[in-house]
Amino acid sequence: MDIIGQFPLFYFPEYGSAWMMGVTGTIHILASHTSVGAAMLFAFLAYKAYKENRTDLYPYMKKYGMFLLIFSYVIGSITGPGIWYTATAASPRGISALIHNFVWVWATEWVFFVYEVIGVFLLVYFIDKIDKKTHLKLTFSFALASVGTLALIIGIISFMMWPGTEAYYATGSASDAFFGTNTFPHMFLRIGFMIMLSGVIGLLISSAMRKENLELSNELTKKMGYISMLGGFLVLFFFMWYMGTLPDNAHAVFNVTKADVIQSRIILTIVFSLYFLLAVVKPQYIKTPLAGAMIFVILIAGIWPGEKLRESMRKPYVAGQYIYSNQIISRDVAGKGIKSELPIIAKKGLLQVNPFVPQNLKVITPENKLAAGELLTKMSCSNCHSLEKTGKYRPLKDRLVGMDKDGIKGILYAMGQGAFPYMPTLELPEDEYDAIAEYIASLKY
């Protein structure tokens, strides 16, 4: 029997299921980056407090720690598996590919997580229950464990973009997949962002302590300003390196919105440079509402569009440049014995090879043509595009507005020949092209 391992389809109306992953991912990035950055900052502060015998720093650390515990370890630790869950529902084969390549890497990261979760409670609750030297060691180990989690996940998410070299396809080795050309620049880019975020969160806490201790609040606000500046500089610096290690299809997508992206990033850089400068020069001007608002600005204007762009630049793939977003394996990976599914789909059609297509839709007839077309469109397009006339997320309507059936078919034929680098080269039998075109045309975008 000629079937491929495709799963049932989950589609969230108007937005598409990938969008749900984006929401969870954005929240997770804020929380997880804060937690790693804060762990490094914590180690720095603990070292300073211990070496200079600055007992006044401990209450700040305790406050910061409580915030970290609630914010990063509640939200971060749930949204982490949350990305995994929602990604599983949206792109099961993409996640499966990552799991089957990197299960031991993930299991290793889990060891660090266990250490971190137990560690964070001790770090916060034992701050005045153990001696300072042991507490300092705890903060150092906590920072190392946090950076360890980054070191482990970074190779996996870099592989999602691409393995970077051809070695992985030949060997199938997790090491070749993990350490691509993109991995280290990506890692340091994120470390910069983590340092910056730790400072930005630190500003929120230092500004909130003004009533209790004005002098300390100003001193820490200044310090956080410097730390944020350092982080921001590292982000910009490593972003250049990172962009240089991306594949051609990523640049093809990037070029579409390049001018807008650069413009918005310049504005963000200026706004945040001024904010950090203000923290250094006039710390008393950094009030808690402003510090809170700036975190929100990072979330909405920084992380959300940034992650959306990174996800778009991966197109048409979802992992390792061998699985398309629409869950089809698009190339051989000799090292793992993986075969491209494109030839069999071109020959038999998606309806025949997908095991979850019900019997009444396996063969297209005049009676079921629209229903089959709808299912085929969902299977082929909905991972990236919302389909409704009122669709919100990368809607098909914006791309196919006013087109008739023949026009749509023309685009499908071109796609089947690989005309667009950011779209899957999905060749289908004539009757499936026809059913898709008929269904999309019936929506009258």
Partner 1 sequence: MDASILLALRDPAGVPFYPVVFQALYVLTWALHAAFVLLALGSMGLSIVGTFKQKSDPIWKVMNPHLIQTGKISISILIVLGVAPLLFTQVIYDPNWYVANTLSGMWVFIFIYTLIVGYIMYYWYYYANKKIEGGGKLIGIISFAILVFAGILMHNFAVTSIMPNDWMQMYAPNGVVDTSGWTFNMEIIRLAFMVSLAVPVVGIFLQNYSRFLSTRADFSKEFVDYTASLGTKLGVVGLLISAVTFALWMLQIDYLLHPLSLAIVVGVVVLLLLVKQNKNSYITTGVLVVVALLISAMRELIRFDIMANLGYSIYEYPVNLEIPSIVMFLFTFLIMGGVGVAWLLTMAWKVGKNQGVFDGSKDVAVTKLGNYTLAIMVLWMVVYFGWGMFILFNNIL
Q: Tell me which residues in 318-357 interact with partner 1 (CB under 8 A).
A: 329, 333, 336-339, 355-357
CB of 214 to partner 1, least distance (A): 26
* CA 316 – CA 323 distance, rounded (Å): 8
**Is there binding between residue 20 and partner 1 (CB under 8 A)?**
yes
**Nearer Cβ to partner 1 (9/408):** 9
**Is there binding between residue 126 and partner 1 (CB under 8 A)?**
yes
* CA 40 – CA 35 distance, rounded (Å): 9
**Out of 48, 53, 55, 100, which residue is the one contacting partner 1 (CB under 8 A)?**
100
**Is there binding between residue 157 and partner 1 (CB under 8 A)?**
no
**Is there binding between residue 111 and partner 1 (CB under 8 A)?**
yes
Q: Please choose, out of 3-11, 287-295, 344-352, 389-397, the segment that lies near partner 1 by the rule CB under 8 A.
A: 3-11
Q: Is the peptide bond before 366 cis (omega within 30 degrees of 0)?
A: no
- 244-274: buried (b, 16+ CB within 10 Å) or exposed (e) per residue? ebbbebbeebbeeeeeeeeeebeebeeebee
**Nearer Cβ to partner 1 (1/259):** 1
**Is there binding between residue 393 and partner 1 (CB under 8 A)?**
no
Q: Please choose, out of 6-14, 278-286, 413-421, 437-445, the segment that lies near partner 1 by the rule CB under 8 A.
A: 6-14
Nearest Cα residue to 91 out of 202, 7, 188? 7
- 134-153: buried (b, 16+ CB within 10 Å) or exposed (e) per residue? ebbebbebbbebbbbbbbbb
CB of 268 to partner 1, least distance (A): 27
Q: If binding means CB under 8 A, how many residues of this protein chain bind partner 1?
A: 101
**Out of 51, 211, 215, 359, which residue is the one contacting partner 1 (CB under 8 A)?**
359
CB of 420 to partner 1, least distance (A): 25
**Nearer Cβ to partner 1 (82/395):** 82
**Nearer Cβ to partner 1 (180/232):** 180
Q: Please choose, out of 32-40, 51-59, 85-93, 395-403, the segment that lies near partner 1 by the rule CB under 8 A.
A: 85-93
Please name every residue paired with 323 in a beta bridge, in sequence order, or none if there are none: 319, 329
CA distances from 352 to 6, 233, 300, 330, 436 (A): 11, 53, 43, 18, 15
* CA 393 – CA 17 distance, rounded (Å): 10
CB of 369 to partner 1, least distance (A): 15
Token pair 């490094």 is at which residue?
40
* CA 285 – CA 414 distance, rounded (Å): 58
CA distances from 383 to 39, 193, 248, 372, 386 (A): 36, 29, 22, 17, 8
Helix (H, G, I), strand (E, B) or coil at 57: helix
Degrees, nearest 5: CA angle 274-297-221: 50
Task: Give residues 168-187 in contact with partner 1 (rule: CB under 8 A).
Answer: 172-176, 178-181, 183-184
**Nearer Cβ to partner 1 (3/267):** 3
**Out of 101, 249, 321, 377, which residue is the one contacting partner 1 (CB under 8 A)?**
101
**Nearer Cβ to partner 1 (79/321):** 79
Helix (H, G, I), strand (E, B) or coil at 141: helix
**Out of 42, 113, 272, 433, which residue is the one contacting partner 1 (CB under 8 A)?**
113
Q: Please choose, out of 143-151, 216-224, 265-273, 298-306, the segment that lies near partner 1 by the rule CB under 8 A.
A: 143-151
CA 348 to chain centre: 35
CB of 314 to partner 1, least distance (A): 19
CB of 345 to partner 1, least distance (A): 14
CB of 321 to partner 1, least distance (A): 14
Task: Give residues 362-381 in contact with partner 1 (rule: CB under 8 A).
Answer: 375, 378
Q: Please choose, out of 71-79, 214-222, 226-234, 267-275, the segment that lies near partner 1 by the rule CB under 8 A.
A: 71-79
CB of 266 to partner 1, least distance (A): 32
Task: Give residues 302-321 in contact with partner 1 (rule: CB under 8 A).
Answer: none
> What DSSP string runs through 70-103?
IIIIIIIHHHHHHHHHHHHHH-HHHHHHHHHHHH
What's phi and psi for 318, nearest 5 deg?
Answer: -115, -25
